[in-house]
Amino acid sequence: MMKQLKSLLIAAALFIGVSQTVSAQAKVAHINVSELMTAMPEMKAANTQLEQISKTYDTQYKTMVQEFQAKIQKYGDEEATAGNAVNEARAKEVQDMQQRIQEYQQTATRELQDKQEAIYKPILEKSKNAIQKVARAKGYQYVLDSSTGSGVILADGPDLMADVKKELGF
């Protein structure tokens, strides 16, 4: 009886060890998502679009700054001949102008970030869907992002980059 119990415990221990080993052997692959997205043709078009938007904001900002600087120069040159009331009104005008420039810069930065997110979102979704499709077809349960700074320290396992690029058609 004692021998049977001992054999049963050993068998249970072996079974638990084997099942843990089997579950620990999940298939894992990796892909550098940043590199994939940079290589996607849609990303080149998106970056061109964002550059155009950025240039538009930058041109408007530079125009506002030039007008501001010209006004400061003009008011500085006329300060001695203008009366106190005029100089005070001009000082207020310059302060208001400076505040509008700062507000424009903040708004432009925020709008550019929002547009960038909106433009990149469908590209990210497309790459994510392709990665999932390839990973499932190859039987991987986990795919790690091996982009720099993603937290993956070693990526010696299977790299899905070539298969995902093929799935995306490039």
- Determine, yes or no, domain membership for 7: no
- Determine, yes or no, domain membership for 15: no
Q: Does residue 120 have a pLDDT over 70?
A: yes
Q: What is the pLDDT of residues 132-154, one digit of tens each?
A: 999 999 999 999 999 988 877 67
Q: Does residue 66 have a pLDDT over 80?
A: yes
B/e letters for 11-38, b = 16+ CB within 10 Å, e = fewer, are: eeeeeeeeeeeeeeeeeebbbbbeebbe
- Determine, yes or no, domain membership for 137: yes
- Determine, yes or no, domain membership for 14: no
DSSP 81: T
- Determine, yes or no, domain membership for 19: no
Q: What is the pLDDT of residues 9-41, one digit of tens each?
A: 454 445 555 444 444 578 999 999 999 999 999
- Count of domains forming the chain: 1
DSSP 25: T
Q: What is the chain's mean pLDDT, rounded?
A: 87
pTM of the model: 0.69
- Determine, yes or no, domain membership for 149: yes
Q: Does residue 5 have a pLDDT over 90?
A: no
Give rounded-to-5 percent helix, strand, coil for the chain. Answer: 75, 5, 20
- Determine, yes or no, domain membership for 16: no
Structural domain of 47: 24-168
Q: What is the pLDDT of residues 40-50, one digit of tens each?
A: 999 999 999 99
- Determine, yes or no, domain membership for 4: no
